[in-house]
Amino acid sequence: MKLLKRILFGKHSKISYSQSAEDIQIESIFGALGIQKPTYIDIGAHAPVYLSNTYLFYRKGSRGVCIEPNPHLYKNIQKNRKHDICLNMGVGIADPNLHEVVETTRILGSISQILHGYGKLIRLLRRARYDLVIDLRTGDRGAIFSFLTGAPVRIGMSAGVKKQFWHGILFTKILSNLTVAPPPAHPGADQSLRIVRGTLNLHNKRQSDIH
């Protein structure tokens, strides 16, 4: 890949490890500021080299902190970025109501490997013995996983989308006409928490919206 890039762009080309050459753009900014070896904090580092926004700087002698909550991805980063400080944790707004985050990566491989991976995830969810599960999506996969958790109360949301008939079996309640707080500037986990809070508030205020 490196050789191909050099052939296409010439001997003065630069190699980028980011998804869209963000590292080269950032490097040019630091160059204009006269900063040769910046210190970085890579939140959600994901990978040590490929698609990394900081590996270009690491390769040129810079050092920093790589933060990755996924334990499997973290091990790979720790192995290949030995001169960086690597932390296996998440970064977000403190919420006293958030006690645990269960994360899974995309399961790839043979059919047996995929089934084994999903089986492991389902066992993990069932061992948690959740009292309530809220599906924030409207697709079938979330509905199936909600059912397989074994939680006695499983809430799904229609959000204007017609639910399949089997969703009435997989969920114990389906919520409609949900109004939640506007999304934050950066959607993600925080927006999901907003939806959950809005769901619980609506459940407490308007029981007629749950059927």
Output the pLDDT for position 101: 67
For CA atoms 74, 46, 53, 56, give the dihedral sign: positive
How many Cβ atoms sit within 10 Å of the Cβ of residue 53? Answer: 19
| Secondary structure of residue 40 in the 3-state scheme | strand
As beta bridge partners, residue 66 has: 42, 86
- What is the rounded average pLDDT of the residues 16-34? 92
Residue type, 42: D
When the pLDDT of each residue in the chain is averaged and rounded to a whole number, the result is 78
Output the pLDDT for position 4: 47
The proportion of the chain whose per-residue pLDDT surpasses 90, expressed as a percent, equals 32
* 201 CB-contact burial (10 Å; exposed 0-12 / middle 13-18 / buried 19+): middle
Quote the Cα angle for 46-52-58, to 5°.
115
Output the pLDDT for position 70: 84
d(CA 51, CA 183) in angstroms, rounded, equals 27
- What is the rounded average pLDDT of the residues 135-142? 78
Q: Confidence band (pLDDT; 50, 70, 90) for 33?
A: very high
Task: Give this prediction's pTM.
Answer: 0.54
More confident site: 119 or 183: 119
Output the pLDDT for position 211: 37
Output the pLDDT for position 65: 97
Q: Averaging pLDDT over each range in 103-112, 157-166, 183-192, which range is the top one?
A: 103-112
Query: HSE (CB half, 13 Å, CA atoms) of 102?
Result: 11
More confident site: 93 or 82: 82
Strands 173-175 and 132-134: unpaired
